[in-house]
Structure 1
Amino acid sequence: MKYLHLYTLFFMSVFHTAWGQNRTDISKKNANPLTIKSETKVPLTSNVWDIKQDRNGNIWFATSGGVFRYDGKSFTKITAELISKPFFSVLEDSKGNFWFGTYGSGAYYYNGTAFQHFTTKEGLANNSVMPIYEDKAGIIWMGTGGGVSRYDGKSFRNFTDADGLTNNDVHAIVQDKTGKMWFGTRGDISIYDGKKITTLSDKNSKTFRNVWSMLKDKKGNIWFGADGLWRYDGRAFTQIDQTGAGVIIQDKKGDVLTSIGGPILRYDERSLSDKKPHVTVIKTKYEGRRNLPFGLLWANDGCIWIGSDRYSYDGKTLRDFKSIERKK
């Protein structure tokens, strides 16, 4: 668990300050105008924080050097002339548009042609945006260093510790099968039912602190990494592993992948309901070295993209991003 503690200290220093919170809706009538896109084909050599695959099969990377897209042949820097701040997150929404979260520069909306910029001036709770999540109704939720921002396409509504969050540093967001919103924070997990925010606890009043990742699996169970890896089926909490998780994903088949840096743990879909699911270890490129456990994708073709070391794994061979581009 010492590595989880080290990652926590790192992000407390990076994702820390909670600027002016706001509990009321704020109109976007003064939102920054669209900025025409600028793309440049350059190698991806930056630290990778988030990886997602879009509906067309392109792979997107939020990195310390900007947002990149891989089309199967080459990497293109999408944010070439926007800012030099690190990008933490990428989301393709239900309409096919993209949202990017940054450290210190707010969030960007990208419609494939141009960008729109959102900061605290437009209503964000904080200019450091980590998770971005779309709920069933198409509402965009952003976890920031100053609370949660809810954007309905017209205005923002912000939630902070004054509304019940246990901490304003929000690291993960997910919507459960009942429609409630879960917020993983540097404090405990907070749950919003549409009216009020409460703190998640088990039947013994145990809470779950410092959650960096959450996942709703295909059966509606919620997985999260806190003081161990946990699964909640709507009735009971099961501790799957003593080790936490900086990232949790699921593939089309239903297998779950987790990592806290170093090896990746793969939980077989057929045993996910067991108290101890069957797990296999996927060894990372550098044995004995712990990397930041962020940026993990199970692509449609079965390859696993691992941002910490910038390589992909097809089940047999590890290839770094540079060799992938050269091969194509």
Structure 2
Amino acid sequence: MKIYANIYILLLSLIVYTSCTGQNKTDLPKDDIISRKKHGIPIAPNNITRNIKQDRKGNIWIAAFDGIFRYDGTSFTNITNRVTSARFFSVLEDRSGNFWFSSVGSGVFYYDGKSFRNFTTKNGLANDRVTEIYEDRNGIIWFSTESGASRFDGKSFRNFTTKDGLPSNNVNWIMEDKTGKFWVATQAGVYIYDGKTGTILTHNGTPFTNVRTIIEDKLGNIWLGGQDGLWRYNGGIFIRYTTSFVGYIYEDKTGNIWISANSAIKKKLVNDLPTNNNDSSWTISRYNKNSLQDNEVLPELIKTNEEMIFGIMEANDEAILFGTLHGVYRYDGKTFTDFKANSQIF
């Protein structure tokens, strides 16, 4: 009987996906907090960390190349290590409290707290390389992919490409503003759709190149960050704040604008990524809300000489968390600590 029990356990561990109404579904083991010493599986992100979010219960969710991690204030749980070895880009908690994870080459994963569903091109997703995820005001989930924008209504996908007016199929970001307009950032420009017609955003007749992030601030201004630097747009006037490549923009609770950008200082990076601006060191800067009207006022440099900096997030305790090539770091306004180890790094 013991032999049969062992075989049964082995078979269970090998089952990763089972068919469920056209999507892949996998039950998550109840106890998924794995001891690193016992199993050799990272319990906290140590690899490229692209995105950090805090859910409505206060848990921190981290999308990294070594898995999706949840931090409850005490310990980390590697949510995906028994389900997939995919590298993750982004995480989203939808209005129902369920989670979506985007990956590099494995599509998107839906997690209801108990089981997973994996959506890929076989289910209608535009591309299995998915960067960002967005939920609009109607509860529709949007995915930014390398082959267009994918819209999921809970039943099926609809994809939007250059045939629909996008300037490029390589989509980096999707956002809906307060007026209901959709902003789609691509490598070749920003597409704005008002529900009837679409236009490509230009400045002096020139479209923006490789915009990576678009946000709408508390006052309704649109911020663009990418190859052409950091811009603010109020619907009529453009203001440029920096010419450096900007990878991420974040507005904190106070109204300050945080950005990650690369600098002119060259730094030899130890990773297997393509160059793509990775040969320069990166910085985190903060633009004080009281000085945003004057683009001549320089921002406060918060962190310099970092290999790369990805997602930025303000936690409930007002600390700033940001992703790097080696996991997550925390800034409390004075010092930086390694978030996973809670140890001061400088």
Equivalences for residues 67-78 of structure 1 within 5 A: 67-78=68-79
Matched, 1:32 2:23: yes
* Structure exhibiting the larger radius of gyration computed from Cα positions: 2
Question: Counterpart of 1:213?
Answer: 213
- Does 216-225 or 40-49 show the bigger shift? 40-49
Question: Counterpart of 1:3?
Answer: none
Deviation at 1:146, TM superposition (A): 0.5
Deviation at 1:279, TM superposition (A): 2.1
Structure 2 residue matching 1:270: 3-state secondary structure = helix
Question: Which structure dedicates a bigger proportion of its chain to strand?
Answer: 2
Matched, 1:272 2:286: no
**Number of residue equivalences:** 293
- Distance (Å, rounded) in 2 between the aligned partners of 1:137 and 1:272: 32
Deviation track 1:15-62 (CA, whole Å, cap 9, x = no partner) reads xxxxxxxxxxxxxx9431431124234132121011111111111111
- Distance (Å, rounded) in 1 between the aligned partners of 2:209 and 2:284: 22
Deviation track 1:287-321 (CA, whole Å, cap 9, x = no partner) reads x3x42231221112111112115321111221113
- Does 144-153 or 238-247 show the bigger shift? 238-247
- Distance (Å, rounded) in 2 between the aligned partners of 1:160 and 1:278: 38
Matched, 1:51 2:52: yes
Question: Counterpart of 1:323?
Answer: 341
Change in Cα spacing, 1:277 to 1:96, as seen in structure 2 (3 Å) is farther
Question: Which residue identity does 2:120 align to in structure 1?
Answer: T
Structure 1 residue matching 2:342: 3-state secondary structure = helix
Question: Counterpart of 2:169?
Answer: 168
Deviation at 1:158, TM superposition (A): 0.5
Equivalences for residues 95-134 of structure 1 within 5 A: 95-134=96-135
- Distance (Å, rounded) in 1 between the aligned partners of 2:49 and 2:222: 25
Matched, 1:306 2:305: no
Question: Which residue identity does 1:40 align to in structure 2?
Answer: I
Q: TM-score, normalised by structure 1?
A: 0.84
- Distance (Å, rounded) in 2 between the aligned partners of 1:194 and 1:154: 21
Structure 2 residue matching 1:238: 3-state secondary structure = strand
Question: Which residue identity does 1:312 align to in structure 2?
Answer: R
- Distance (Å, rounded) in 2 between the aligned partners of 1:275 and 1:295: 23
Deviation at 1:172, TM superposition (A): 1.2
Change in Cα spacing, 1:197 to 1:30, as seen in structure 2 (3 Å) is farther
Contact 1:268 1:277 in 2 (8 A): no
Deviation at 1:277, TM superposition (A): 5.5
Deviation track 1:228-247 (CA, whole Å, cap 9, x = no partner) reads 10011112211122223101
**Percent identity over the alignment?**
48
Deviation track 1:74-98 (CA, whole Å, cap 9, x = no partner) reads 1110112222121011011122111
RMSD: 1.9
Contact 2:148 2:170 in 1 (8 A): yes
Change in Cα spacing, 1:166 to 1:312, as seen in structure 2 (3 Å) is same
Question: Which residue identity does 1:292 align to in structure 2?
Answer: M
Structure 1: segments with no counterpart, 5+ residues = 1-28
- Distance (Å, rounded) in 1 between the aligned partners of 2:26 and 2:250: 32
Deviation track 1:220-268 (CA, whole Å, cap 9, x = no partner) reads 2111113110011112211122223101111111111001252211011
Question: Counterpart of 1:184?
Answer: 185
- Distance (Å, rounded) in 2 between the aligned partners of 1:33 and 1:122: 10
Change in Cα spacing, 1:48 to 1:234, as seen in structure 2 (3 Å) is same
- Distance (Å, rounded) in 1 between the aligned partners of 2:173 and 2:293: 23
Question: Which residue identity does 1:205 align to in structure 2?
Answer: G
- Distance (Å, rounded) in 2 between the aligned partners of 1:142 and 1:325: 35
Deviation at 1:163, TM superposition (A): 1.1
Contact 1:212 1:246 in 2 (8 A): yes
- Distance (Å, rounded) in 1 between the aligned partners of 2:337 and 2:50: 19
Contact 1:31 1:118 in 2 (8 A): no
Question: Counterpart of 2:279?
Answer: none
- Distance (Å, rounded) in 1 between the aligned partners of 2:22 and 2:91: 20
- Distance (Å, rounded) in 1 between the aligned partners of 2:296 and 2:235: 18
Q: TM-score, normalised by structure 2?
A: 0.80
- Does 306-315 or 36-45 show the bigger shift? 36-45
Higher relative contact order (CA closer than 8 Å, sequence separation 6+): 1
Deviation track 1:101-147 (CA, whole Å, cap 9, x = no partner) reads 00111111111111111111111111111110111111111100110
Deviation track 1:156-176 (CA, whole Å, cap 9, x = no partner) reads 110011111111111111112
